[in-house]
């Protein structure tokens, strides 16, 4: 099986927290919210999580201040889960 197609368990609480952060990013979190909608509690592929992390990085680059920090922290967390 390809590395990107390996599955990863994501708990509903973690996913809900990620979605709340995406909401806090307002318009800059729109792409991230779309990617997070592709993730469901349970089994997800590394590819799906990597896409969400990339969207969080895009949000990070589009914002400044606290929102930039928030998006960067979320991206790092999603990346960590995707590569664990």
**Average pLDDT of the residues in 31-42:** 89
Q: Which residues pair with 43 in a beta bridge?
A: 9
pLDDT at 84 over 90: no
Strands 7-10 and 42-45: antiparallel
Alpha carbons 35 and 38: distance in angstroms, whole number: 5
User: Which residue's structure tokens are 């990346």?
Assistant: 79
pLDDT at 5 over 70: no
Mean pLDDT of the residues in the chain:
89
pLDDT at 1 over 80: no
- What's the confidence (pLDDT) of residue 56? 97
**8 or 34, which is more confident:** 34
What are the boundaries of each domain within the chain? 8-82
């Amino acid at each position: 099986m390809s590395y990107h197609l390996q599955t990863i368990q994501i708990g509903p609480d973690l996913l809900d927290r990620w979605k709340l952060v995406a909401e806090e990013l307002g318009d800059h979190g729109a792409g991230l919210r779309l990617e997070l909608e592709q993730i469901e509690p349970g089994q997800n592929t590394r590819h799906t999580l990597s896409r969400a992390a990339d969207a969080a990085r895009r949000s990070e680059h589009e914002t400044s201040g606290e929102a930039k920090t928030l998006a960067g922290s979320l991206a790092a967390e999603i990346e960590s889960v995707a590569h664990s």
